Amino acid sequence: MALLEIRNVTRRFGGFVAVDNISLGIEAGEIFTLLGPSGCGKTTILRMIAGFDLPDEGQILLDGEDLADTPPEKRPVRTVFQNYALFPHMTVAQNIAFPLRMSRCPDAEIRQRTRDTLQQVRLGDRAGRYPNELSGGQQQRVALGRALINRPRLLLLDEPLAALDAKLREEMQIELINLQREVGITFVFVTHAQNEALALSHRIAVLNSGRVMQVDDPPRLYGFPGNRFVAGFIGHINILDAQVLETAHGHTRLGIAGLGEIIVPPVAGAAPGGKGAFAIRPELVRIGVHGDVTELKNHFPCEVRNLLYCGDVTTYRVQLANGALIEALLPNSAPGRAELFKVGDAVNVGWRHDAGVFLHE
Amino acid sequence: MSNQTAKLPPSARLTKWLVCGPPLVFLLLLFVAPSAIMVVASLRFPGEFGGLAPVAAAPGVLQGLTLETYRFFFGDFLYAEIFVKSFLVALAATLICLVMAYPLALLIARSPKKSRDLMILLVILPFASNFLIRVYAWMILLGPQGALSQLVNSALGAFGIGPVHLLFSPFAVLVAMVYVHLPFMVLPLYTNLEKHDPSLLDAAQDLGANRWQRFWHVTFPLSLPGIYAGATLVFIPVLGMFAIPDILGGTGDMLIGNLIKDQFLGTRDWPFGATLSILLTGAVLLCVLVAARLGGAGMRHA
C-alpha cells in the first residue's frame, strides 16, 4: 500500500477547476515530484496534503487513513515553504526547536535533538544567529531542519530551490538527495523546473491544467514521453506531425509529411492511418557527411542553417529539403573542436530506428 | 560618524543640512528652548502677584536662584502621591487600551483588503469632532439621568447596594481616557499586524502549533514593536492630561496635569509649576527611552 494515496481528488475555485479528478500513490521513502507549469494545480495538491486546503471531492489517505478531519497541526506532514517562512524573531536554534516546543517535549530532549538536527543540516556554528543574518542556502537548511526535527512521515517541499542562484541550486540538490537518503523520510517536491525534477526525483508526476499527464521515473519520462505535453515540457525535443502507415511485426512505419517514411519500434495501439507526432531528442539525432549516418535506417539529406556553441555541446539546426527544421545536439568531446559543420554545409541527418517515439494524438 | 561626514562631498552635506535643518530648528525653538526656560523658571522665586520675581531685584529677600521648589516637592509626600497616582492611571488606561485595541487591530489586519480602509476610517472617525465636545458628551452619558447610570443603579439596587455616582469619579476619568486614546493604540498595532507575513502562521500551524500557540509564539512577539509604539502614544498624553479629570473627575480627583495647571493659573506659583513640569518631562523621557529600548530590541530582527 502506498504511504500517501490521493484518490479521485477534485478541487475547484469558483468556476476554475484547479485539480481535476487526480489519483496518485506516493510510496514510503521515495522522492516524488509534482512537476508542471504554473497553474497546473501542483501547489493546490501540496496544500491539500498539508491540510491548508481540502478537496471538494475525493480523498487523501495517509497509511490508509483519511486525512479529511485532521487539521494541519495534527498531520505528520511538514512543509518547507517557498520563502522558507522562518520566524524572524527566533534564532536558528529556536526555529529548529519550534515543533518540539509546540508538542511540549521535555527541555533536555529539546536541547539534545536541536543539537543533533543543527549538526545534520550543518548549522552547528549558526545556532545563535537570526534568519536575516543567514545566506539563502543556510535559511533553506534551517527550514529543512525545522521540518525534519519531529521526524514527519512526509516532507513537502514547495519550490525549495527557486530562491537560490544557479550554482547554489546544484549544490542544494545534492544536499537534498543526501539528506533524504540519510533520514529516509518521503519527500514530495513541487516544482515547475523540469531539470530540478529530473535531477532529484525517484518518480515524477507531470501535471497540466489540473490533470496528471504521466507518472514515471525520470529516465522513462525523458526517454518515452507519453504525449505531446510531456514531450514538450521536459527537455528539448523535435516534434514532427506523423501518420502510421504500416504496423508490422518488429517495427512500425510512419509517414511524415514532406519528409518521407521512417521506421520506429512497434507502437502499442497504433493502427494504419492513426495520426500523431514523431518526437526525437536532439542528442539522439546524428549529423554527418559520410556513411556513418547513411547506414542508419532513418536518414535524410539536409543543410546546416544555424548553430549554437554552448561549450560542452553545440546545437545544430538543420533544414530538410521540404523545409522542416530538426535540431541536433552534438557533444564537443575533443578540446577546441567547436564546429564540426558550418552554416550552409550539405550534410545528412539521421537517427537509430529506436531513437524517437510516436505520440498518439 | 564624524569620519563619514568629512568624506561627504559638499553638495551632499548641503542636502543633509537642508533636510535635517527644519526639524532641527523646530525642535530647538519649540522643545529645547522652552524646556530651558522652564528649567530656569523652576529655579527662580515666584513673583509677588504671580509670574516670576526679577532675578536681580533690590538687595534683600527673594532674588537669585534657588532649589526651594525641588526641596518643597520632595519634602511633601502629597506630590509624590499625585505623581504615582497619575502614573497608575496612565498605566491602567494604557493596559485597557491595549486589551481593547489588540483584537480590533487583529480583526482589521486580517480582513479583506477592501474593507480594511473603511474599518480604519471608522476607528479615526471620532477625531472629526472636537476633543472637548466628546469629553462633555461623557458627562451626559455617565450623568445620573443617563441610561447607563439608571441601569447600573437599578441592578445594584436589586442587591440592596445604594446608588453609585458614575460621573465625577476616577471611573469616569478612566473611561474617557481610554475612549479618547483608543485610536492611538489601534493604529500602530494595525500598522504592525498588517505587515505580518501570513505564511509564518501557516508554517507555525504546519509545525504543530495550535491556534493559541500560533498567537503566543508568532503573532504576539512580532507585534511587540506595535505594542510599544501604541503604549507610548497612549501613556504619555494620559499622563499629562488635565482636561478629562477637570471635567469628569470632580473635585477630589487630581492628577499631575491638574496640579501643574493649578500652579500656573490658580495658585500662581510659576516656579513650582515649572518644577512639576520639568519632573514630569523627565519621567516621560525616561519612559520613552525604556519603550524605545524594548521596541528596538524587538524590531531588530523582524
How far is it, in rounded angstroms, from Cα B230 to Cα B227? 5
ipTM for the predicted complex comes to 0.84
Q: Which residues of B are less than 8 Å from A79 in CB distance? A: 202-203, 206
Residues of A in contact with B200 (CB under 8 A): 85, 87
Minimum distance, in Å, between the CA of residue B280 and any CA atom of chain A: 34
List, in order, residues 6 or more apart from B51 with CB less than 8 Å away.
Answer: B268, B270
Q: Tell me which chain B residues have a C-beta less than 8 angstroms from the C-beta of A101.
A: 217
Structure-model confidence comparison of residues B299 and B223, the more confident one: B223
Calpha distance B260→B256 (Å, rounded):
6
The one-character DSSP state at A43 is: H
Q: Which residues from B are below 8 Å from A98, CB to CB?
A: 204, 207, 209, 217
* Lookup result for grid cell 520613552: B288
State the best of B192, B197, B202, B207 to mutate against chain A, taking most chain A CBs within 10 Å.
Answer: B207
What is chain B's mean pLDDT, rounded? 86
CB contact under 8 A, A73 and B206: yes
Which stretches of chain A drop beneath a pLDDT of 70? 290-291, 335-339
Higher-pLDDT residue of B6, A46: A46
CB proximity under 8 Å: B 170-199 to A: 197, 199
- The C-alpha atoms of residue A67 and residue A48 are separated, in whole angstroms, by 9
- Does the structure show a pLDDT above 70 at B277? yes
Any chain B CB within 8 A of the CB of A150?
Answer: yes
* B199–A89 CB contact, under 8 Å: no
pLDDT score for B47:
75
Q: Compare all CA atoms of chain A with the CA of B211 and give the residue at the minimum distance.
A: A73
- Shortest distance, CA B295 to any CA of chain A (angstroms): 13
Which candidate, A191, A195, A238, places its Cα nearest to that of A218? A195
Q: Domains in chain B: how many in total?
A: 1
User: Residue B127 gets which letter from DSSP?
Assistant: G
**A79–B203 CB contact, under 8 Å:** yes
* Contact flag A83-B209 (C-beta cutoff 8 Å): no
Is residue B164 included in any domain, yes or no?
yes
> What's the Cα-to-Cα distance from A27 to each of A5, A78, A183, B209, B297, rounded to whole Å?
9, 17, 15, 27, 47
Of chain B, the percentage scoring pLDDT greater than 90 comes to 38
How far apart are the C-alpha atoms of A110 and B193, rounded to whole Å?
30
Q: Is B64 domain-assigned?
A: no
Instruction: Judge whether B302 is closer than 8 Å to chain A, CB to CB.
Output: yes
Instruction: Inform me whether the C-beta atom of residue A99 falls under 8 Å from chain B C-beta atoms.
Output: yes
Q: Which of B250, B242, B88 shows the shortest CA–CA distance to B165?
A: B250
pLDDT at B58: 55
Contacts of B217 in chain A (CB under 8 A): 87, 98, 101-102
Q: Do A85 and B202 lie within an 8 Å CB cutoff?
A: yes
Q: Minimal CA–CA distance to A250: which of A354, A177, A154? A: A354
Higher-pLDDT residue of B296, B134: B134
> Is A81 touching B (CB cutoff 8 A)?
yes
Partners of B252 in the beta sheet?
none
Report whether pLDDT(B301) > 70. Answer: no
Residue B47 counted as domain residue: no
Q: Is residue B68 in some structural domain?
A: no
Distance from CA of A185 to the nearest CA of B (A): 16
**Distance from the B4 Cα atom to the nearest Cα atom in chain A, whole angstroms:** 25
**Assigned domain for B58 exists:** no
| pLDDT for residue B205 | 96
Residues of chain B neighbouring A103 (CB-CB closer than 8 A): 208
**B202·A78 Cβ contact <8 A:** no
Determine the Cα–Cα distance for residues B95 and B91; give it in Å rounded to an integer: 6
Q: What is the pLDDT of residue A337?
A: 63
pLDDT at site B2? 46
Residue of B nearest to A83 (CA): B199
Range of the domain at B119: 76-301
| Domain CATH number, residue B243 | 1.10.3720.10
Q: Is residue B18 part of a domain?
A: no
Q: Which residue has 507585534 as its cell numbers?
A: B223
Question: Is B9 within the bounds of a domain?
Answer: no
CB count, 10 Å around CB of A92? 28
pLDDT digits (tens, 9 = 90+) for A121-159: 999 999 999 999 999 889 999 999 999 999 999 999 999
Interchain CB contact of B220 with A (< 8 Å): no
- Least reliable range by pLDDT among B39-43, B162-166, B187-191, B227-231: B162-166
Position B59 scores a pLDDT of 56
Residues of B in contact with A151 (CB under 8 A): none
- The residue among B229, B194, B253, B244 whose CA lies nearest residue B97 is B229
Nearest CA in chain B to A145: B207
Nearest to A102 among B209, B222, B302 (CB): B209
Contact between B25 and B18 under an 8 Å Cβ cutoff? The reply is no
How far is residue B242's CA from residue B262's CA, in Å, rounded to a whole number?
Answer: 10
Contact A75, A51 (CB under 8 A): yes
CB pairs under 8 A between A and B: 69
Min Cα–Cα distance to chain B from A132, Å: 7
Q: Is the pLDDT of residue B1 over 50?
A: no
Q: Which helix (H) or strand (E) holds A102?
A: helix A92-102
Whether the CB of B215 is below 8 Å from some CB of chain A: the reply is no
Cell digits of residue A188:
514530495
For residue range B127-165, what is the model confidence (pLDDT) as tens digits? Answer: 889 989 999 988 888 888 888 888 888 888 888 777 778
Rounded to whole angstroms, the Cα distance separating A341 from B237 reads 83
Record: contact A73-B208, CB cut-off 8 A: yes
Domains of chain A listed by start with CATH number: 4-231 (3.40.50.300), 236-360 (2.40.50.140)
Give the pLDDT score at B57: 57
Q: Judge whether A41 is closer than 8 Å to chain B, CB to CB.
A: no
The most distant pair of C-alpha atoms in chain B lies apart, rounded to whole Å, by 82
B87 part of a folded domain = yes
Would you say B85 and B252 are in contact if contact means Cβ atoms under 8 Å apart? no
pLDDT for the residue B63: 59
Report yes or no: B29 at the A interface, CB cutoff 8 Å: no
CA distance A105 to chain B (A): 12
